[in-house]
Structure 1
């Protein structure tokens, strides 16, 4: 690619540290953006390892880290996908008939 390998490793390392700090200290949307950006960096690292022809044991840690980042991103996005309206669950107390119904004469009838 024409890029010095030392410069490439240092720049990827600095970006990983910056994204890690953002994910640790900044709440909300920037955390998800840093997670996504870090996931893209991990995918680039996996691509570079494949390009060089490294064996799996050399980049297995990056593969596991990418899976963890993907899971964290999916979990973080899941509450936003749910609708804000809560549907009543089947079996709620409001939907079930009462065990004791009043008879027309004021007596209690057990059903």
Structure 2
């Protein structure tokens, strides 16, 4: 079985698309970075380094310092697929990030996006 094409795509290629989606809806690059760092455990500096090195998406998630334990609280449909039903871990993490950026673009409060308890 071959890997999905997105796994070999450079994270540097999709990163500006996440930012553009957020900015079109009045959100910021800093908010996108906060979401990515929350999900992956990368520091802002590590995130920038990975973008500059053009690391592929599969390795971006494989080398994440610590995937956030609350990521399993991310629910819903993205790209026509329910994220909680995705079994393959790398694809699930990619879709988690897609869903978080989508929530940001839809105006959801950052505390809710990052699954902060009240």
- The TM-score with structure 2 as length reference comes to 0.27
Bigger RCO (CA 8 Å, 6+ sep)? 2
Computing the radius of gyration from Cα coordinates, the structure with the larger value is 1
